[in-house]
Copies of this chain bind each other. A is one copy, B any other.
Amino acid sequence: MVSSQHIPPFRAIPALDPGRTADAVLLTERQRQELENIGLRQRFPPRTVVYKEGDAAQWVFAVTEGAVKSYRDLRSGRRVVSAFLFSRDLFGLAANGQYVNSAQTIARTTLYRLPVRELAVLLRQHGDIQFAFLSKLTHELRESQRRAILVSRRDASGRVAMFIAQMGERLDRDATGLVPLPMSRSDIAAFTGLSLESISRAAGDLERRGLVKFEGRHSARILDPAGFAKLTGAI
């Protein structure tokens, strides 16, 4: 059990250690203490903009609890969501001292805020802590590639099914197979590269095929795991 008072251990699959399939606990209690000495815990209500693209990047954030989206607004008015961040995720890494994306909370969220300059010093000093960050970044990179594979699908239903599958892996779903989807439909659209309407139609399609039942706006139950896996695997 991870107390929300503290920096969470990162969620990441270790580079080494074959055979270990579960996520590794990437920070020891002691290492988290080191980070907490320079960090600050903050709570945010839903729909709070944590930072905007181009802002001076003063902090790196770790999600303790809740959900955040990282996105970019394009000139055309379209928005691309590059990632959803949940408990034990890391975000806010900058280029040239500026944030590359914008970040906004989706739900009530607790973040740990680490000042980037002090963090850089601390990481250089503590090889093990830095290695945890390195592993986490490697994990994020793979996650980003999985999104690329999702987007390579042509069919909207398949994309949405893969999206639900990915959320099911990342978020704790209960024993009954209920997958939480804290984000809005238009966020899902901006992430999957589909239009809002296509998400809606794809959801209807998955329901009609008896694969998934959407319960309320923010959760989906997988009714036919075999059929669902067949669809998500049919890349």
User: A: which residues have CB within 8 A of B?
Assistant: 13-21, 56-57, 72, 74-76, 78, 80, 82, 93-98, 100-101, 116-117, 120, 123-128, 130-131, 133-134, 137-142, 144-145, 147-149, 151-152, 193, 233-235
Contact = CB atoms under 8 A, between A and B. Distances in A.
A80 B162 CA distance: 16
A75 to B, nearest CB: 6
Contacts of A13: 95-96
A76 B152 CA distance: 12
Contacts of A125: 127
A156 B91 CA distance: 31
A56 B18 contact: yes
Most B CB within 10 A of own CB, among A72, A123, A137, A234: A137
A67 B195 CA distance: 35
Given A72-B149, A148-B148, A234-B76, A16 B120 contact: yes
Contacts of A98: 18
A190 to B, nearest CB: 9
9 contacts: A13-B96, A16-B120, A18-B97, A75-B234, A78-B152, A95-B142, A130-B134, A137-B137, A152-B193
Nearest to A75: B235
Given A15-B94, A123-B134, A130-B130, 13 more contacts: A14-B95, A17-B96, A18-B96, A18-B97, A19-B96, A74-B235, A80-B152, A82-B148, A93-B138, A127-B130, A134-B134, A137-B137, A148-B148
A45 B76 CA distance: 43
A152 B151 CA distance: 9
Sorted nearest first, the 7 A-B pairs with minimum C-beta distance are: A18-B97, A124-B127, A74-B235, A137-B137, A144-B144, A13-B95, A82-B145
Contacts of A21: 96
A192 to B, nearest CB: 10
A15 B93 contact: yes
Given A15-B97, A16-B97, A75 B137 contact: no
Given A16-B117, A127-B123, A234-B75, A93 B141 contact: yes
A199 B67 CA distance: 38
Contacts of A18: 56, 96-98
